[in-house]
Structure 1
Amino acid sequence: MKLVTVLTASVFLAACTSVSEVAPAGDANYTVTTQIRGGMTPWGEIKASSLKRADEYCRQQGKRMHQVDMQTHGVRGWTPQDAELTFSCVAS
């Protein structure tokens, strides 16, 4: 019985993370979205994944990332969690 409980808890806590490609959003802005399915991932970690991807994108251009907006959707542990970042790349 303990094994079943441990396995069930492991499945519940496991999460599948995906980070989208950077996409143009108009007005020299871009978007990137991190989605977590399952698990109990803190919002800070989800947002950090989007911020990291945006920062990498801008650094490849020799610029720095400027956050324009961040939207979050979902309920931790119940529905998929999304963090959608809108950003621009500005001269360093």
Structure 2
Amino acid sequence: MRALYVAGAVIVVAGCTTISDVTSAGDGNYTVTTQVRGGMTPWGEVKASSLKRADEYCRQQGKQMHPVDMQTHGVRGWTPQEADRTFSCVAG
């Protein structure tokens, strides 16, 4: 029975993370969004997921990611958490 409680707690804490495709935001900027539903994911992890995806996108082009803006929405453990990262890719 205890194992069942532990498994339930892990599911609640873990949540479900979705990272969007990178989309053009105009003027040479791009946007990527990370969304976490459920759980108690720290905001740092939510933001880091968007940052990592943006960095990967620019590296694929042989460039470096330059952060432009970061917006967060939601309440941890209450509503879905979203981190919207706007960035550009610049020559290294």
Q: Provide the TM-score with structure 2 as the length reference.
A: 0.91
Letter in 2 for 1:9: A
Q: Which runs of 5+ in 2 are unaligned?
A: none
- The offset of 1:11, in angstroms, is 3.5
Structure 1 segments of 4+ aligned residues over 2 angstroms from their partners: 1-12
1:68 aligns with 2:68: yes
Deviations 1:7-30 (A, max 9, x none): 543332231001000000000000
Give the number of aligned pairs.
92
Pick which of 41-50 and 6-15 moved more. Answer: 6-15
SS of 2:76's equivalent in the other structure is: coil
Q: Distance in 2 between matches of 1:59 and 1:85?
A: 16
Q: Distance in 1 between matches of 2:45 and 2:61?
A: 25
Name 1:43's counterpart in structure 2. Answer: 43
- Sequence identity of aligned pairs in percent? 73
Deviations 1:27-52 (A, max 9, x none): 00000000000111111111000000
- The offset of 1:84, in angstroms, is 0.2
RMSD of aligned alpha carbons: 1.4
- The offset of 1:6, in angstroms, is 3.5
Q: Distance in 2 between matches of 1:36 and 1:26?
A: 26
- The offset of 1:3, in angstroms, is 5.5
Describe how 1:26-41 pairs up with structure 2 within 5 A: 26-41=26-41
Q: Which runs of 5+ in 1 are unaligned?
A: none
Q: Distance in 2 between matches of 1:7 and 1:56?
A: 33
Q: Distance in 2 between matches of 1:74 and 1:59?
A: 30
1:59 aligns with 2:70: no
1:16 aligns with 2:20: no
